A and B are shown apart, each in its own frame.
Chain A
Amino acid sequence: MAQVLTRTQRRPMNPIVRRNLINGLLFISPWLFGLMVFTIYPVLASFYYSFTQYDVVSPPKWIGLDNYIEAFTNDPLFYRAIGNTLWYAAVALPLGLLVSVSVSLLLNMKVRGLAIYRTIFFLPSIVPDVASALLWGWMLNPQFGLVNQLLKRLGLPGLGWLADPTWSKPALVLIGLWGFGGSMVIYLAALQDISEQLYEAAELDGAGSWAKTWNITLPMLTPTIFFNLVLGLIGTFQYFTTAFVLTGGGPAGSTSFYALLIYNNAFRYFKMGYASALSWLLFAFVFTLTWVIFKTSGRWVYYEGEKS
């Protein structure tokens, strides 16, 4: 300690370095303020609340690990919500990935009318969630909805969709899939970044279009896929609006997702302590998951020349 002090005393900070430090901190000070007030404090506070019973009206009461114990041993909705959320992630993410990568590969074949196709696929992704939920709620109406009427015309039986516990989650996946365009545009941009030379070299070696897709395009796309997958995964655990608007968690708890469970506990039952514990479990889970993904990414993500 003493040594550090004398050293800094002996060599006062270079005035240019100091000026830069002050300027730098000044420029980022709004963010620093936000970081303290809207990130660090809330994260710590919610950790504290997770050990309390807190109904907003009376002050928080310390109850130790009770909230966590309650979640794991006494709340069937907890497991239900985890199950539903994992189900949604396991179905919606791969499906969305498949559709957006294949469509962008097709669009990348230098098709005519690219702008029109791109617009049609992209537009649904910027429709407000509430509006798309209302629209799809009507389209999936079991009796008069367009989807069931089309199914019937094809000689297939109509489904209960959002009213049927078996089909409610697939219905939500369908609605989510309508908005795949956002990631498609990212893939398209990444595809246009792949060097022509790679393809030309492969052609010299006699590679057909399938071989080129498999051996060049897809490997070159893995960083983007990885990026989208991580964001998608984090996003899924925060999946909220569509389910809240359309089903409120029903029927029979089949669409009670994790973020919905937290919202209900916090703002419907005012169990702020319990909701904080649930959000910290989510935090721990997302954190671990992200960490594992990053650790294993080296095995399947190809970074060109390690430049990034």
Chain B
Amino acid sequence: MAAKTASNPQQITGGVTIRAQRRILALQRLGAYAVLTILALVFAIPFVWLITTSLKPPAQLFRLPIEWVPNPFAWSNYPQALTMIPFFVYLKNTVYITLFNVVASVISCSLIAYGFARIRWPGRDALFIVLVSTLMIPFPVTLIPTFLIFRDLGWINTPHPLTWPAFCGNAFFIFLLRQFYMTIPEELSSAAKIDGASEFQIYRLIILPLARPALAVVALFTFLANWNDFLGPLVYLSDRDQYTLAIGLYGFLSRSGTAFGPLMAAATMIVAPVVVLFFLTQRTFIQGITLTGIKG
């Protein structure tokens, strides 16, 4: 806002005060930079600490005062982390669950949102309110019966409870996609209808291609949610060879004792894909959060 005042201060006051005002604004900006920079440093330190710890030899971890640079660099922490837990088994399980969810939820949510956004039918808006209000239900309320359903299906200790439900869609993403579909002009659909296109063809050939940015957001957020998920695997997976990385890392904590080097190496390897993904898809990310958050 300060910048805006600086652009046309003449409108407000006469010559002398302009200079004083400019000085105040410059000071304000300086203050803003100072606060932001200090804060950014504070927020970046944990990342730096994660990486340096992951490269420190055991003896250096407990040396005081603190040393920032690993000496010598203990690269062996990484292979050690890979062998102290069956890292690649966990990775494979996590990748399976995550990719399954990404594909299934993009398919299901995009279809369901079409039914809510592009077809007019009696009862639609009432059901949409139901959809939105399911977002308010705290997870513990449904957790126990859902667990019992999967137990009766014999799905405990398999990835199925964490994968198949994705085909039923996710209220949050359906909401997001519906908002996006609503912005696509109705004329496109009606023109296709005159040409004899079915609803499914309109969905497949017109809406889906146009909704790609929003679908990317759904894919990205689904990836994150599943990669990071802790409670689901904790409840449903009890066998070590079914574990995901998140649960595996937790198990690692209890067995590693003071082996913070390998522990942080393992943590780094879980965080790294998320960070890389962020840098590759920054715009989708910001766009997605904007899409979800703006419609209060």
Q: Are A35 and B130 within 8 A (Cβ)?
A: yes
Interface contact B5-A203, CB-CB below 8 Å: yes
Q: How far is the CB of A59 from chain B (nearest CB, A)?
A: 12
* A31-B108, A134-B263 known; A25 vs B3 contact (CB < 8 Å): no
The A-contacting residues of B in range 197-234, CB under 8 angstroms, are 199, 203, 224, 227-228, 230-231, 234
B136 touches A287 (CB 8 A): yes
Neighbouring B residues of A189 by C-beta, 8 Å = 286, 289-290, 293-294
Query: Residue B84 at the A interface, CB < 8 A?
Result: no
- List 8 extra interface pairs beyond A17-B122, A42-B141, CB under 8 A: A27-B199, A107-B36, A118-B286, A226-B296, A238-B138, A240-B230, A245-B250, A272-B144
Interface presence of A111 (CB below 8 A): yes
**Chain B interface residue number, banded:** 35 or more
Tell me if A144 is interfacial: C-beta within 8 Å of chain B.
Answer: yes
> B235: which of A28, A31, A190, A267 is its contact (CB, 8 Å)?
A267
Q: A17-B121, A25-B115, A209-B25 are in contact. Are A106 and B295 (CB under 8 A)?
A: no
Q: Tally A residues with Cβ within 8 Å of B.
A: 106
Interface pair A204/B11, CB less than 8 Å apart: yes
Could you list which residues of chain A lie within 8 angstroms of chain B, going by C-beta atoms? 17, 20-21, 23-28, 30-31, 33-35, 37-39, 41-43, 45-46, 49, 56, 103, 106-111, 116-124, 126-132, 134-139, 143-144, 146, 149, 153, 178, 182-183, 185-186, 189-190, 193, 196, 199-200, 203-204, 206, 208-209, 212-213, 217, 223-224, 226-228, 234, 237-238, 240-241, 244-245, 259, 262-263, 266-267, 272, 275-276, 278-280, 282-283, 286-287, 290, 308
Chain B contacts of A275 at CB under 8 A?
140, 144
**Residue from A26, A31, A223 whose CB has the most chain B CB atoms within 10 Å:** A31
A287 neighbours in B (Cβ, 8 Å) = 136
How many Å from the CB of B136 to the closest CB on chain A?
6
User: A194 CA to B241 CA in the complex, in Å?
Assistant: 52
B140 in contact with A28 (CB, 8 Å): no
CB-nearest residue of chain A to B270: A131
Given A35-B134, A128-B274, also A28-B127 (CB < 8 A): yes
Q: Given A43-B142, A131-B270, are A217 and B46 neighbors across the interface (CB < 8 Å)? A: no
A175 to B43, CA, bound (A): 11
Chain B residues proximal to chain A, CB less than 8 Å: 1-5, 8, 11-12, 25, 28-29, 32-33, 35-36, 39-40, 43-47, 49-50, 53, 61-62, 64-66, 108, 111-112, 114-116, 119-124, 127, 130-131, 134, 136-149, 151, 165, 167-169, 171, 174, 199, 203, 224, 227-228, 230-231, 234-235, 246-247, 249-250, 253, 260, 263-264, 267, 270-271, 274-275, 278, 282, 285-286, 289-290, 292-296
Please tell me if the beta carbons of A31 and B174 are within 8 angstroms of each other in the complex: yes
Establish whether residues B29 and A111, one from each chain, have CB atoms under 8 Å apart when the complex forms.
yes
5 residue pairs, one from A and one from B, having the closest CB atoms: A34-B168, A27-B115, A186-B293, A223-B296, A24-B121
The main secondary structure of chain A at its interface with chain B is helix
Query: Cβ of B65 and Cβ of A149 under 8 Å apart?
Result: yes
- Tell me whether B50 and A135 are in contact (CB under 8 A): yes
Question: Please, which residues of chain A bring their CB within 8 A of the CB of B3?
Answer: 109-110
A279 to B138, CA, bound (A): 8
Contacts of B111 in A (CB 8 A): 27, 30
Asked whether B145 lies within 8 Å of A45 as measured between CB atoms, the reply is yes
CB distance from B192 to the nearest CB of A (A): 14
Q: Which residue, B4, B11, B285, has most C-beta atoms of chain A within 10 A?
A: B4
Q: How far is the CA of A185 from the CA of B287 in the complex (A)?
A: 10
CA distance A129 to B224 in the complex (A): 11
Closest residue of chain B to A184 (Cβ to Cβ) is: B289
Query: Cβ of B11 and Cβ of A203 under 8 Å apart?
Result: yes
A/B interface sample: 5 pairs, CB < 8 A: A20-B121, A56-B151, A123-B275, A137-B253, A275-B140
For A120, the closest partner residue in chain B by CB is B40
Given A226-B296, A234-B136, A234-B138, check contact A144 B122 (CB 8 Å): no
